Amino acid sequence: MTTSAPAGAPSRATRRLALLATGLALLTLAGWCGAWHWTLDLASHFRCYWLLFAVLMLAETLRRHGVRPAGRWPIACLTVALVGNAWAIAPCYLPVVEPAAPPAARPLAIVALNVWARNRRTERTLAYLREQAADVVVLLEVSAAWGATLEELADLYPHRLVEPRSDNFGIALLSRTPLLEGRVVEFGGTGLPNVVARVRHEGTEVTIVGSHPVPPGGGRRARARDAQLTAIGGFVAAAPGPCIVAGDLNATPWSHAFRRLLADGGLRDTAAGRGVQATWMARLWAPRIPIDHVLVTRGTAVVRRAVGRDVGSDHFPIEAEVVPQARE
Protein backbone atom coordinates (compact mmCIF):
# COMPACT_ATOMS: atom_id res chain seq x y z
CA MET A 1 0.00 0.00 0.00
CA THR A 2 1.41 3.40 -0.92
CA THR A 3 0.63 6.76 0.52
CA SER A 4 0.57 9.95 -1.43
CA ALA A 5 1.63 13.37 -0.29
CA PRO A 6 -1.16 15.56 1.07
CA ALA A 7 -2.81 17.77 -1.49
CA GLY A 8 -0.91 21.00 -1.91
CA ALA A 9 2.27 19.63 -0.27
CA PRO A 10 5.48 20.39 -2.20
CA SER A 11 6.90 17.53 -4.25
CA ARG A 12 10.22 15.92 -3.47
CA ALA A 13 11.80 17.78 -6.41
CA THR A 14 10.48 21.08 -5.10
CA ARG A 15 11.81 20.41 -1.60
CA ARG A 16 15.20 19.44 -3.04
CA LEU A 17 15.32 22.62 -5.09
CA ALA A 18 14.46 24.73 -2.03
CA LEU A 19 17.19 22.99 -0.03
CA LEU A 20 19.82 23.56 -2.74
CA ALA A 21 18.78 27.19 -3.14
CA THR A 22 19.05 27.75 0.62
CA GLY A 23 22.51 26.19 0.67
CA LEU A 24 23.67 28.34 -2.20
CA ALA A 25 22.46 31.50 -0.46
CA LEU A 26 24.27 30.47 2.73
CA LEU A 27 27.51 29.78 0.84
CA THR A 28 27.24 33.19 -0.78
CA LEU A 29 26.79 34.93 2.56
CA ALA A 30 29.52 32.84 4.19
CA GLY A 31 32.04 34.22 1.72
CA TRP A 32 31.61 37.68 3.27
CA CYS A 33 32.36 36.34 6.75
CA GLY A 34 35.81 34.84 6.16
CA ALA A 35 37.38 36.89 8.95
CA TRP A 36 35.25 34.94 11.45
CA HIS A 37 36.43 31.44 10.54
CA TRP A 38 38.61 29.82 7.89
CA THR A 39 35.83 27.50 6.70
CA LEU A 40 33.66 30.50 5.87
CA ASP A 41 36.50 32.07 3.91
CA LEU A 42 36.78 28.94 1.74
CA ALA A 43 33.33 29.72 0.34
CA SER A 44 34.60 33.04 -1.04
CA HIS A 45 37.00 31.37 -3.47
CA PHE A 46 34.28 29.86 -5.65
CA ARG A 47 32.06 32.87 -6.30
CA CYS A 48 32.16 32.39 -10.07
CA TYR A 49 30.71 28.92 -9.66
CA TRP A 50 28.11 30.03 -7.12
CA LEU A 51 27.00 32.69 -9.60
CA LEU A 52 26.76 30.15 -12.42
CA PHE A 53 24.73 27.75 -10.27
CA ALA A 54 22.44 30.58 -9.15
CA VAL A 55 21.67 31.57 -12.74
CA LEU A 56 20.98 27.99 -13.85
CA MET A 57 18.89 27.12 -10.81
CA LEU A 58 16.90 30.34 -11.02
CA ALA A 59 16.07 29.63 -14.64
CA GLU A 60 14.97 26.10 -13.73
CA THR A 61 12.87 27.35 -10.80
CA LEU A 62 11.08 29.87 -12.97
CA ARG A 63 10.50 27.22 -15.62
CA ARG A 64 8.99 24.81 -13.09
CA HIS A 65 7.05 27.14 -10.83
CA GLY A 66 7.05 30.65 -12.22
CA VAL A 67 6.17 32.95 -9.33
CA ARG A 68 3.72 30.55 -7.72
CA PRO A 69 4.06 30.02 -3.94
CA ALA A 70 6.07 26.80 -4.34
CA GLY A 71 8.85 28.73 -6.08
CA ARG A 72 8.97 31.85 -3.95
CA TRP A 73 11.45 30.65 -1.33
CA PRO A 74 13.92 29.20 -3.88
CA ILE A 75 13.59 32.36 -5.97
CA ALA A 76 14.37 34.54 -2.94
CA CYS A 77 17.42 32.45 -2.01
CA LEU A 78 18.70 32.29 -5.57
CA THR A 79 18.27 36.04 -5.98
CA VAL A 80 20.46 36.53 -2.91
CA ALA A 81 23.08 34.20 -4.40
CA LEU A 82 22.95 35.82 -7.83
CA VAL A 83 23.14 39.42 -6.61
CA GLY A 84 25.68 38.72 -3.86
CA ASN A 85 28.14 36.90 -6.09
CA ALA A 86 27.66 39.25 -9.04
CA TRP A 87 28.37 42.19 -6.71
CA ALA A 88 31.61 40.55 -5.50
CA ILE A 89 32.80 39.67 -8.99
CA ALA A 90 31.85 42.96 -10.66
CA PRO A 91 35.13 44.80 -9.83
CA CYS A 92 36.96 42.22 -11.93
CA TYR A 93 35.11 43.50 -14.99
CA LEU A 94 34.35 47.16 -14.31
CA PRO A 95 36.60 49.58 -16.24
CA VAL A 96 39.63 50.89 -14.36
CA VAL A 97 41.11 54.34 -14.87
CA GLU A 98 44.87 53.82 -14.99
CA PRO A 99 47.25 56.44 -13.55
CA ALA A 100 48.86 58.60 -16.21
CA ALA A 101 52.27 57.33 -17.28
CA PRO A 102 54.92 59.05 -19.40
CA PRO A 103 54.10 58.35 -23.08
CA ALA A 104 57.55 56.97 -23.87
CA ALA A 105 57.92 54.93 -20.69
CA ARG A 106 58.96 51.32 -21.21
CA PRO A 107 56.85 48.98 -19.05
CA LEU A 108 58.45 46.64 -16.57
CA ALA A 109 57.49 43.10 -17.61
CA ILE A 110 57.03 40.56 -14.84
CA VAL A 111 56.06 36.89 -14.84
CA ALA A 112 54.88 34.99 -11.76
CA LEU A 113 54.69 31.20 -12.00
CA ASN A 114 54.28 28.31 -9.61
CA VAL A 115 56.41 25.79 -11.51
CA TRP A 116 55.04 22.84 -9.46
CA ALA A 117 57.73 20.88 -7.67
CA ARG A 118 56.58 17.65 -9.36
CA ASN A 119 56.56 19.12 -12.86
CA ARG A 120 59.00 17.17 -15.02
CA ARG A 121 58.25 19.10 -18.21
CA THR A 122 61.01 21.55 -17.45
CA GLU A 123 61.72 22.21 -21.12
CA ARG A 124 58.27 23.73 -21.56
CA THR A 125 58.81 26.13 -18.67
CA LEU A 126 62.28 27.11 -19.86
CA ALA A 127 61.04 27.69 -23.42
CA TYR A 128 58.18 29.82 -22.13
CA LEU A 129 60.45 31.97 -19.94
CA ARG A 130 62.86 32.51 -22.82
CA GLU A 131 60.00 33.46 -25.11
CA GLN A 132 58.60 35.94 -22.59
CA ALA A 133 62.00 37.42 -21.73
CA ALA A 134 60.37 39.36 -18.89
CA ASP A 135 62.44 41.81 -16.88
CA VAL A 136 61.70 40.00 -13.62
CA VAL A 137 60.43 36.46 -12.98
CA VAL A 138 59.11 35.17 -9.64
CA LEU A 139 58.98 31.37 -9.37
CA LEU A 140 57.35 29.25 -6.66
CA GLU A 141 57.74 25.60 -5.57
CA VAL A 142 61.41 25.67 -6.53
CA SER A 143 63.03 22.37 -5.54
CA ALA A 144 66.75 21.59 -5.71
CA ALA A 145 66.15 20.03 -9.14
CA TRP A 146 64.37 23.15 -10.33
CA GLY A 147 67.18 25.29 -8.91
CA ALA A 148 69.67 23.40 -11.05
CA THR A 149 67.38 23.63 -14.09
CA LEU A 150 67.14 27.41 -13.77
CA GLU A 151 70.90 27.63 -14.33
CA GLU A 152 70.10 27.08 -18.00
CA LEU A 153 68.63 30.59 -18.03
CA ALA A 154 71.79 32.23 -16.66
CA ASP A 155 72.53 33.91 -19.99
CA LEU A 156 69.12 35.61 -20.05
CA TYR A 157 68.82 36.11 -16.29
CA PRO A 158 72.31 36.63 -14.86
CA HIS A 159 70.95 38.10 -11.63
CA ARG A 160 69.20 35.49 -9.52
CA LEU A 161 68.02 34.88 -5.99
CA VAL A 162 67.22 31.19 -5.53
CA GLU A 163 66.09 29.49 -2.32
CA PRO A 164 65.25 25.83 -3.11
CA ARG A 165 63.47 23.62 -0.59
CA SER A 166 62.46 19.98 -0.30
CA ASP A 167 58.81 20.93 0.37
CA ASN A 168 56.55 23.03 -1.88
CA PHE A 169 57.82 26.41 -0.66
CA GLY A 170 61.11 26.96 -2.42
CA ILE A 171 61.24 30.31 -4.21
CA ALA A 172 63.31 32.16 -6.78
CA LEU A 173 63.57 35.59 -8.37
CA LEU A 174 65.30 36.05 -11.73
CA SER A 175 66.20 39.45 -13.12
CA ARG A 176 67.69 40.69 -16.36
CA THR A 177 69.06 43.78 -14.62
CA PRO A 178 71.27 43.95 -11.54
CA LEU A 179 69.64 43.67 -8.14
CA LEU A 180 70.23 46.75 -6.02
CA GLU A 181 69.16 44.55 -3.12
CA GLY A 182 68.25 40.90 -2.92
CA ARG A 183 67.42 38.90 0.17
CA VAL A 184 65.35 36.02 1.45
CA VAL A 185 63.11 37.05 4.33
CA GLU A 186 60.39 35.57 6.53
CA PHE A 187 57.04 37.29 6.92
CA GLY A 188 54.53 36.61 9.67
CA GLY A 189 56.58 34.10 11.65
CA THR A 190 55.67 31.24 9.32
CA GLY A 191 59.20 30.00 8.67
CA LEU A 192 58.65 30.17 4.91
CA PRO A 193 60.98 32.06 2.57
CA ASN A 194 59.98 35.14 0.63
CA VAL A 195 62.19 37.08 -1.76
CA VAL A 196 62.61 40.84 -1.57
CA ALA A 197 64.57 42.62 -4.27
CA ARG A 198 65.07 46.14 -5.56
CA VAL A 199 65.73 46.89 -9.20
CA ARG A 200 66.13 50.11 -11.11
CA HIS A 201 63.78 50.50 -14.05
CA GLU A 202 63.77 53.58 -16.22
CA GLY A 203 65.46 55.49 -13.42
CA THR A 204 62.93 54.40 -10.77
CA GLU A 205 63.84 52.06 -7.93
CA VAL A 206 61.20 49.36 -7.56
CA THR A 207 60.82 46.92 -4.66
CA ILE A 208 59.59 43.45 -5.64
CA VAL A 209 58.22 40.95 -3.12
CA GLY A 210 57.76 37.31 -4.13
CA SER A 211 55.70 35.12 -1.83
CA HIS A 212 53.99 31.75 -1.52
CA PRO A 213 51.96 31.30 1.70
CA VAL A 214 50.56 27.92 2.68
CA PRO A 215 47.13 26.91 1.35
CA PRO A 216 44.38 27.61 3.94
CA GLY A 217 43.42 23.98 4.45
CA GLY A 218 42.76 24.04 8.19
CA GLY A 219 42.67 26.60 10.97
CA ARG A 220 46.42 26.66 11.64
CA ARG A 221 47.33 26.90 7.97
CA ALA A 222 44.72 29.58 7.33
CA ARG A 223 46.11 31.65 10.21
CA ALA A 224 49.64 31.20 8.86
CA ARG A 225 48.58 32.37 5.39
CA ASP A 226 46.78 35.37 6.86
CA ALA A 227 49.75 36.28 9.06
CA GLN A 228 52.12 36.15 6.10
CA LEU A 229 49.90 38.32 3.91
CA THR A 230 49.31 40.78 6.76
CA ALA A 231 53.06 41.12 7.31
CA ILE A 232 53.62 41.69 3.60
CA GLY A 233 50.99 44.42 3.62
CA GLY A 234 52.77 46.14 6.49
CA PHE A 235 56.15 45.82 4.77
CA VAL A 236 54.83 47.32 1.53
CA ALA A 237 53.13 50.17 3.36
CA ALA A 238 56.45 51.12 4.98
CA ALA A 239 58.63 50.66 1.90
CA PRO A 240 59.70 53.76 -0.03
CA GLY A 241 58.80 54.06 -3.69
CA PRO A 242 56.68 51.77 -5.83
CA CYS A 243 56.30 48.09 -4.88
CA ILE A 244 55.19 44.95 -6.68
CA VAL A 245 53.94 41.82 -4.90
CA ALA A 246 53.90 38.68 -7.02
CA GLY A 247 53.33 35.00 -6.43
CA ASP A 248 50.94 32.22 -5.57
CA LEU A 249 49.15 33.83 -2.64
CA ASN A 250 46.66 30.99 -2.12
CA ALA A 251 43.85 33.53 -1.89
CA THR A 252 41.33 34.72 -4.45
CA PRO A 253 40.36 38.40 -4.86
CA TRP A 254 37.26 37.73 -2.73
CA SER A 255 39.09 36.34 0.28
CA HIS A 256 39.19 38.54 3.38
CA ALA A 257 42.97 38.04 3.65
CA PHE A 258 43.47 39.29 0.09
CA ARG A 259 41.24 42.31 0.59
CA ARG A 260 43.13 43.15 3.79
CA LEU A 261 46.47 42.84 1.96
CA LEU A 262 45.32 45.37 -0.63
CA ALA A 263 44.06 47.77 2.03
CA ASP A 264 47.05 47.49 4.38
CA GLY A 265 49.68 47.73 1.64
CA GLY A 266 48.00 50.41 -0.47
CA LEU A 267 48.02 47.87 -3.31
CA ARG A 268 45.76 47.21 -6.25
CA ASP A 269 45.21 44.10 -8.32
CA THR A 270 46.63 44.25 -11.85
CA ALA A 271 43.73 42.00 -12.93
CA ALA A 272 41.06 44.54 -11.93
CA GLY A 273 38.94 45.43 -14.95
CA ARG A 274 40.37 42.56 -16.98
CA GLY A 275 38.04 39.79 -15.90
CA VAL A 276 38.47 36.78 -13.65
CA GLN A 277 41.83 35.34 -14.66
CA ALA A 278 41.89 31.88 -13.11
CA THR A 279 45.28 30.22 -12.71
CA TRP A 280 44.68 27.01 -10.70
CA MET A 281 43.94 24.14 -11.27
CA ALA A 282 45.55 24.00 -14.73
CA ARG A 283 45.29 20.21 -14.89
CA LEU A 284 41.49 20.30 -14.64
CA TRP A 285 38.86 22.11 -16.68
CA ALA A 286 37.03 23.03 -13.45
CA PRO A 287 37.14 24.26 -10.81
CA ARG A 288 39.69 26.92 -11.66
CA ILE A 289 40.23 29.89 -9.38
CA PRO A 290 42.52 32.98 -9.44
CA ILE A 291 45.10 32.50 -6.66
CA ASP A 292 48.24 33.72 -8.48
CA HIS A 293 48.65 37.48 -8.47
CA VAL A 294 50.70 40.50 -9.42
CA LEU A 295 49.82 43.48 -7.22
CA VAL A 296 51.15 47.02 -7.52
CA THR A 297 51.13 50.10 -5.32
CA ARG A 298 48.68 52.81 -6.30
CA GLY A 299 50.17 55.19 -8.82
CA THR A 300 51.67 52.39 -10.90
CA ALA A 301 50.04 52.08 -14.32
CA VAL A 302 49.09 48.63 -15.61
CA VAL A 303 49.68 48.30 -19.34
CA ARG A 304 48.95 44.60 -19.73
CA ARG A 305 47.90 41.66 -17.57
CA ALA A 306 47.15 38.16 -18.82
CA VAL A 307 47.26 34.46 -18.01
CA GLY A 308 50.03 32.62 -19.83
CA ARG A 309 49.88 29.28 -21.56
CA ASP A 310 50.10 25.81 -20.07
CA VAL A 311 53.74 25.05 -19.19
CA GLY A 312 53.17 21.66 -17.55
CA SER A 313 52.51 23.02 -14.05
CA ASP A 314 49.27 22.80 -12.11
CA HIS A 315 49.25 26.62 -12.30
CA PHE A 316 49.14 28.92 -15.28
CA PRO A 317 51.66 31.77 -15.34
CA ILE A 318 50.69 35.40 -14.78
CA GLU A 319 52.10 38.01 -17.15
CA ALA A 320 52.01 41.71 -16.31
CA GLU A 321 53.50 44.87 -17.77
CA VAL A 322 53.49 47.89 -15.49
CA VAL A 323 54.95 51.38 -15.35
CA PRO A 324 56.14 51.87 -11.75
CA GLN A 325 55.65 55.41 -10.46
CA ALA A 326 55.50 57.24 -7.16
CA ARG A 327 52.49 56.29 -5.05
CA GLU A 328 49.32 58.32 -5.26
Residue 293, pLDDT score:
98
Q: Point out which residues pair with 163 in neighbouring strands.
A: 171
Question: Quick one: which of 243, 228, 159 has its CA closest to 192?
Answer: 228
Asked if pLDDT for residue 4 goes beyond 80, the answer is: no
User: Phi/psi of residue 215, each to 5°?
Assistant: -65, 145
DSSP state of 169: -
% of the chain exceeding 90 in pLDDT:
83
Which are the contacts of 5, defined by CB distance < 8 A and separation ≥ 6?
A: 11
Predicted confidence (pLDDT) per residue in 267-288, tens digit: 999 999 999 999 999 988 888 9
Q: What sign results for the dihedral spanned by CA atoms 220, 226, 229, 233?
A: negative
Predicted confidence (pLDDT) per residue in 57-106, tens digit: 999 888 887 767 767 899 999 999 999 999 999 999 999 988 888 888 89
Asked if pLDDT for residue 2 goes beyond 80, the answer is: no
Asked if pLDDT for residue 151 goes beyond 80, the answer is: yes
Asked if pLDDT for residue 7 goes beyond 70, the answer is: no
Q: How confident is the model at residue 1 (pLDDT cuts 50, 70, 90)?
A: very low
Residue 10, pLDDT score:
64
Asked if pLDDT for residue 131 goes beyond 90, the answer is: yes
Strands 204-211, 179-186: parallel, antiparallel or unpaired by DSSP?
Answer: unpaired
Contact indicator for 212, 192 with CB cutoff of 8 Å: yes
Give the chain's end-to-end CA distance (angstroms, integer).
77
**pTM metric for this prediction:** 0.92
Residue 8, pLDDT score:
55
Contact indicator for 82, 266 with CB cutoff of 8 Å: no
Whole-Å CA distances, 80 to 20, 75, 257: 13, 9, 23
Asked if pLDDT for residue 168 goes beyond 60, the answer is: yes
Contact indicator for 64, 18 with CB cutoff of 8 Å: no
Least confident of 1-10, 21-30, 295-304: 1-10
Calculate mean pLDDT across residues 259-267: 97
Q: Where in the chain is the domain with CATH 3.60.10.10?
A: 108-323
The pLDDT mean for the chain works out to 93
Calculate mean pLDDT across residues 301-316: 96
Q: How confident is the model at residue 9 (pLDDT cuts 50, 70, 90)?
A: low
Residue 64, pLDDT score:
80
Residue-wise burial string across 122-158, b where 16 or more C-beta atoms lie within 10 A, e elsewhere: beebbebbeebebbbbbbbbbbeebbebbeebeeebe
Pick the CATH number of 108-323 from 3.40.50.360, 3.40.190.80, 3.40.640.10, 3.60.10.10: 3.60.10.10
